[in-house]
Amino acid sequence: MGRGKLCFSTSFPNGFRLSPHSWAVIIVEYRGGQLCPGAPVCVWGYSTKHVVEGLEPRTLYKFRLKVTSPSGEYEYSPVVSVSTTREPISSEHFHRAVNVNDEDLLVRILQGGNVKVDVPNKFGFTALMVAAQKGYTRLVKILISNGTDVNMKNGSGKDSLMLACYAGHLDVVKYLRRHGASWETRDLGGCTALHWAADGGHCNVIEWMIKDGCEVDAVDTGSGWTPLMRVSAVSGNRSTASVLIEAGADVNMRDKDGKTPLMVAVLNNHEELVQLLLDKGADASVKNEFGKGVLEMARVFDRQNVVSLLEERKRTQMAKK
């Protein structure tokens, strides 16, 4: 929205004059060719100018001034036509272009040089973060070619690479890596891009990340969880866990509380993941810091299907002996 300043004389052509005891009303008669009924703006006394707020860009307005004296006499001024100009380009337009994947508008805004490429939106995300999260590869390329910082972080410490990994946009992930994005960066909780990719559950992205040198057993600073532990705690996704394990993830790693991925999967009732972890060598005999094993945990939390699975596994192992 814009504004416009209206200036007017205290004398009308027929001799009618404004005085401290008279009042004037600014009437917007037309807006963009349409009759514009609405609340008038009152101006008192000897004022000879007024700023009208809330004008639409690139729009024709027609104003008149109606002046009324204390005796009730009134007079109308001639019509004044005003055309507003184009709304100045702002960071809001810049982020809107990215949000709607408008490549042409983004290029025009960047060529205008009026907006900094790394200006964050109201949520603390840069344009690159938004484009990476949405998978807008062409916009990512445009922003990087215009000097955006690929390693810039939002308020929670996540960068564009983490957001792209979580969302599963492999083309964006590859492009960011080619242009300086690092696997070593961590968010405020100490999570890496692989932690976020594990949360997203996109196996093709995870496989490529590991081939590209991403550390498979990186530990966060909060709970001491690896990406495999995150899967055990959050999604329980068997396919994601399988990819991590095949890449060398330690199935018997312990977090800060002494829990293993198997324990975490049992507590969260991820039955299929429990089966996978056992098949891949998870030790069901280990105890947590309170001396509790996985079978006892399953019983305490009434995980009946998991209890049955663990008991069957235990009987099978004893029979082999």
CATH topology of domain 183-321: 1.25.40
Q: Which of 3, 4, 6 is nearest to 47 (CA)?
A: 6
User: CA geometry: angle at 37 spanning 33 and 41, to 5°?
Assistant: 110
> Position of tokens 């909060």?
222
How far apart CA 89 and CA 255 sit, in angstroms, is 50
Contact 261, 251 (CB under 8 A): yes
Rounded to 10°, the helix 193-200/203-211 angle is 160
Query: Domain 2-83 belongs to what topology?
Result: Immunoglobulin-like (2.60.40)
pLDDT given at position 1:
45
pLDDT given at position 39: 46
Q: Which residue has the tokens 């840069």?
A: 126
DSSP state for residue 53 in the 8-state scheme: E
66 bridge partner residues: 25, 76
Is the separation of the CB atoms in 16 and 66 below 8 Å? no
Per-residue pLDDT band for 149 (boundaries 50, 70, 90) equals: very high
**pLDDT tens digits for range 267-278:** 999 999 999 999
pTM above 0.85, yes or no: no
Specify the pLDDT at position 302.
Answer: 92
Answer whether residue 34 shows pLDDT above 70: no
Q: Give the pLDDT mean for 233-240.
A: 97
* pLDDT for the residue numbered 171: 99
Residue 20 has a pLDDT of 53
Instruction: Say what the alpha-carbon torsion angle 222, 187, 239, 131 is, to the nearest 10 degrees.
Output: 160
Query: pLDDT value at position 114?
Result: 83
Q: What is the pLDDT of residues 43-72, one digit of tens each?
A: 445 556 666 666 666 677 776 667 666 677
**What residues are paired with 155 via a beta bridge?**
none
- Locate the domains of the chain by residue range: 2-83, 88-182, 183-321
Tokens of 162: 């983490």
pLDDT score of 131 more than 70: yes
By three-state DSSP, how is residue 17 classified? strand
Query: Using CA atoms, how far apart are residues 40 and 55, in angstroms rounded to an integer?
Result: 14
Two tokens, residue 207 = 């496989």
Give the pLDDT band (50/70/90) at residue 37. low
Residue with tokens 């705690």: 233
- Distance CA(146)–CA(258), nearest Å, equals 47
The pLDDT score that the predictor gives to residue 313 is: 85
Calculate the average pLDDT of the chain.
85
Q: What is the pLDDT of residues 158-181, one digit of tens each?
A: 999 999 999 999 999 999 999 999
Identify the architecture of domain 88-182 in CATH.
Alpha Horseshoe (1.25)
Residues 6+ apart with CB under 8 A from 185: 151, 153, 159, 161, 162, 192, 193
Burial class (CB in 10 A: 0-12, 13-18, 19+), 209: buried
130 compared with 93, residue with greater pLDDT: 130
Instruction: Let me know if the fold of 2-83 is the same as that of 88-182.
Output: no
